[in-house]
Amino acid sequence: MVENGYTIALSTGCAYSLFYTVLLASVIRYRLSPSHPLAKYPGPTIMKITKIWAAWIAYGGRTHVYMKALHDKYGPIVRIGPNELSTSEKGFIPQILGSQGMPKGPLWDGRRFAQTDAQKLEDYDSVVDVRDSLLHAQLRKPWNQAFSAEPVKDYELLLMPRIVQILEILKGTCLHHQDGIGRVNMAKWISCFAFDFMGDVAFGGCFELMKEGDKDRCLHNMEAALHLVSITQHVPWVSKVMRNMPLVNRAMARFIKFAVEKALARYNMEMKRKDLFYHMSEASGDPESELPIIVSNALLAIVAGSDTVSFTLSCVLYLLLSNPASYNRLQREVDETFEKCGIPAMDVAESMDSFSPQARYNEVFSSMPYLNAVINEGMRLFPAVPTALQRAPAKGSGGKLLKTESLSIFLPEGNAIVVPPYVIHRDPRYFSPSPDSFIPERWLPSPTPSSSGGNDSSATKFETSRDAFIPFSVGQQNCAGRPLAVIEMRYLLAALTRNFDMEFDREVYNVTQWEDKMEDRFTCHAKGTLPVTMKWRGVAAKSGNVVA
């Protein structure tokens, strides 16, 4: 009897093994066969078979580097999954991401955040990951209103005290030492600054990382939470399973709990200034919608409002310090412009008395060609979202035809395509010469002597394709917070270069560490430090005019 039972169990096991082996072999054969709709596009065999390989690459945090290597090897169209392509062809960008483009693809199902434990993942809709275009337009409307011209002026008022605060801290660090030279990790201070300002804009000023340090590990928890979704975005079918595993999902759950607590605190506080969620609630036209708006958008506000800006600013500073001639040229432009315009001091708290939104300092910043060239070049080399701009044909559409003068793709329904900014921004067809080098001059209206990258001829001509420059994405699903992000970067970069002479602390720092330790976690994370020696310039005392 026992022997019969053993025989039956063994036979059943063999039958199931044979079934799944044949099934797996059939799937692999089809995915590699000429009859597959993406068969003609080149790519690694392993990626044509399974997305698990992409998840493994993502686990290591080097997806951006891997994707560039693929395009360098295979060309402008690469098959990166059984049903997925990647393209570096700029002519496809409007057709994929633009107003006549496609909805978000399945990658976003693997990235979705649930706001509470009780809320089912499939019932959760956030503007950042919703795939239905009509629903996205509805959810996006309050964001568009909240970042229109008038609300941004309110946020600019919130920015000024934070600029003063970080300048006072860094100035104090310099003057504390007898030689007047301070030694700081600027990546840390920029992250704290951006997180505090994000708290002012979205949550009524509930964070004080610059003053108190990251005692609640806010930055760590945010980074740890994004680690999981950077992997599950490639295998959405396992994301629900992983989210139900407490040990695996612990960081995500902790971050969600943190965000919901801050959202509820913001809802219950008495507001003294008009912030992001005030303007979003006003745009909705429904007073009862305030709490749902705050809670459902809290995570996005934290990540987009702090993580992406701090990463970009840190990268820009890293590039400037790696190219001292560029730093000096920017410093000269800032000095000359501020002295000419009589911009009041921002290195002491009393200077706030002379600030008013009518001063329109951002108009001055936007007219400074080299400052904006530096920021553009930093975002070109290190876009905050380096690889994961994915779209797919709408359900019921049958597919999407993408066509340029020299290339065409028919993407059947059920397939997806990725536009990787990191790859496109370093493509020599669009940015040359030296697409991997930091050359702000490529953004200036006419050729000038280059300050870096070995291009020192005044006759240098640059190929700069602005239609291939997509650090904020493009189209109706681009970054809503772009206007404020640009203002924040202009203010802080100008303030730092006006007030301080900086260089790498080479006694403790290898400059190659910055890029080597950079990780693609959907948004890019700078895992490395940025040790800097800095000296306060004392501009106010010398010129009678002071800093911004």
DSSP-assigned letters across all residues of 85-146: EEE--GGGHHHHHSTTS--B-GGGGGGPPPSSTTS-GGG---TTT---HHHHHHHHHHHHHH
| Residue 4 pLDDT grade (very low, low, confident, very high; cuts 50, 70, 90) | low
| Residue 126 pLDDT grade (very low, low, confident, very high; cuts 50, 70, 90) | confident
Query: What is the C-alpha to C-alpha distance for residues 293 and 277, in angstroms, rounded to an integer?
Result: 7
Asked, for residue 29, whether it belongs to a domain, the answer is no
Q: What is the pLDDT of residues 326-337, one digit of tens each?
A: 999 999 999 999
- Spell out the residues 6+ positions from residue 83 whose beta carbon is closer than 8 angstroms to its own: 38, 414, 415, 416
Asked, for residue 414, whether it belongs to a domain, the answer is no
Asked, for residue 74, whether it belongs to a domain, the answer is no
Q: By CB neighbour count within 10 A (0-12 exposed, 13-18 middle, 19+ buried), where does 225 fall?
A: buried
Domain that holds residue 349: 106-373+473-543
> Is the pLDDT assigned to residue 421 strictly greater than 90?
yes
Task: Look up residue 54 and give its two tokens.
Answer: 């992409």
| pLDDT at position 246 | 66
**Residue among 77, 49, 88 nearest 386 (CA):** 88
Please report, as a single letter, which amino acid is at residue 181.
I
Q: What is the DSSP letter of 77?
A: E
Mean pLDDT of 454-480: 83
| Residue 72 pLDDT grade (very low, low, confident, very high; cuts 50, 70, 90) | very high
Do the Cβ atoms of 304 and 479 come closer than 8 Å?
A: yes
State the CATH number of the domain containing residue 518.
1.10.630.10
Q: What is the pLDDT of residues 264-318, one digit of tens each?
A: 888 888 777 788 888 888 776 666 667 777 877 888 888 888 889 999 999 999 9
pTM of the predicted model as reported, rounded to 2 decimal places: 0.90
| Residue 64 pLDDT grade (very low, low, confident, very high; cuts 50, 70, 90) | very high
> Is the pLDDT assigned to residue 144 strictly greater than 50?
yes
| pLDDT at position 363 | 83
Asked, for residue 331, whether it belongs to a domain, the answer is yes
**Residue among 264, 316, 262 nearest 491 (CA):** 316
Asked, for residue 258, whether it belongs to a domain, the answer is yes
| Residue 548 pLDDT grade (very low, low, confident, very high; cuts 50, 70, 90) | very low
* 78, 111, 146, 301 from 82: Cα distances, Å: 11, 19, 40, 34
Q: What is the pLDDT of residues 396-417, one digit of tens each?
A: 999 999 999 999 999 999 999 9
Mean pLDDT of 53-81: 97
Three-state secondary structure call for residue 532: strand
The distance from CA 307 to its chain's CA centroid, rounded to whole angstroms, is 7
| pLDDT at position 111 | 79
| pLDDT at position 225 | 81
| pLDDT at position 186 | 96
Query: What is the C-alpha to C-alpha distance for residues 316 and 496, in angstroms, rounded to an integer?
Result: 12
Query: What is the C-alpha to C-alpha distance for residues 493 and 197, in angstroms, rounded to an integer?
Result: 15
Token pair 């305030």 in the structure block, residue: 290
**Residue among 300, 323, 469, 447 nearest 382 (CA):** 469
> Is the pLDDT assigned to residue 102 strictly greater than 70?
yes
Measured over the CA atoms of residue 355, residue 357, residue 363 and residue 366, the dihedral's sign is positive
> Is the pLDDT assigned to residue 542 strictly greater than 50?
no
> Is the pLDDT assigned to residue 49 strictly greater than 90?
yes
Quickly count helices (H) and strands (E) in the chain. 22, 13
> Is the pLDDT assigned to residue 361 strictly greater than 50?
yes
Angle at 263 between CA 258 and CA 269, to 5 degrees: 125
| pLDDT at position 545 | 42
Long-range pairs of 241-248 with CB within 8 A, sequence gap ≥ 24:
243/114, 243/121
**Residue among 384, 346, 351, 349 nearest 539 (CA):** 346
| pLDDT at position 78 | 98
Q: What is the DSSP letter of 248?
A: T
The distance from CA 235 to its chain's CA centroid, rounded to whole angstroms, is 21
What is the number of domains present in the chain? 1
| pLDDT at position 70 | 98
- Spell out the residues 6+ positions from residue 12 whose beta carbon is closer than 8 angstroms to its own: none
> Is the pLDDT assigned to residue 18 strictly greater than 90?
no
Asked, for residue 144, whether it belongs to a domain, the answer is yes
| pLDDT at position 287 | 65
Task: Look up residue 119 and give its two tokens.
Answer: 């809320």
Look at 431 and 229; give whichever has higher pLDDT. Answer: 431
Helix (H) or strand (E) holding 503: strand 500-504
Query: What is the C-alpha to C-alpha distance for residues 366 and 370, in angstroms, rounded to an integer?
Result: 10
> Is the pLDDT assigned to residue 543 strictly greater than 50?
no
Q: pLDDT averaged over the chain?
A: 86
> Is the pLDDT assigned to residue 35 strictly greater than 50?
yes
Query: What is the C-alpha to C-alpha distance for residues 152 and 164, in angstroms, rounded to an integer?
Result: 19
Asked, for residue 450, whether it belongs to a domain, the answer is no
In percent, how much of the chain has pLDDT > 90?
53
- Spell out the residues 6+ positions from residue 451 whose beta carbon is closer than 8 angstroms to its own: 323, 325, 326, 329, 439, 440, 441
Query: What is the C-alpha to C-alpha distance for residues 179 and 162, in angstroms, rounded to an integer?
Result: 27
| Residue 236 pLDDT grade (very low, low, confident, very high; cuts 50, 70, 90) | confident
Asked, for residue 236, whether it belongs to a domain, the answer is yes
Query: What is the C-alpha to C-alpha distance for residues 492 and 507, in angstroms, rounded to an integer?
Result: 26
Rg (CA), the chain: 25
> Is the pLDDT assigned to residue 66 strictly greater than 70?
yes
Q: Is the peptide bond before 393 cis (omega within 30 degrees of 0)?
A: no
> Is the pLDDT assigned to residue 451 strictly greater than 70?
no
Do the Cβ atoms of 92 and 419 come closer than 8 Å?
A: yes
| Residue 204 pLDDT grade (very low, low, confident, very high; cuts 50, 70, 90) | confident
Mean pLDDT of 134-145: 86
> Is the pLDDT assigned to residue 115 strictly greater than 70?
no
> Is the pLDDT assigned to residue 547 strictly greater than 60?
no
Token pair 């948004």 in the structure block, residue: 523
> Is the pLDDT assigned to residue 447 strictly greater than 60?
no
| pLDDT at position 165 | 94
218 is in an annotated binding site: no
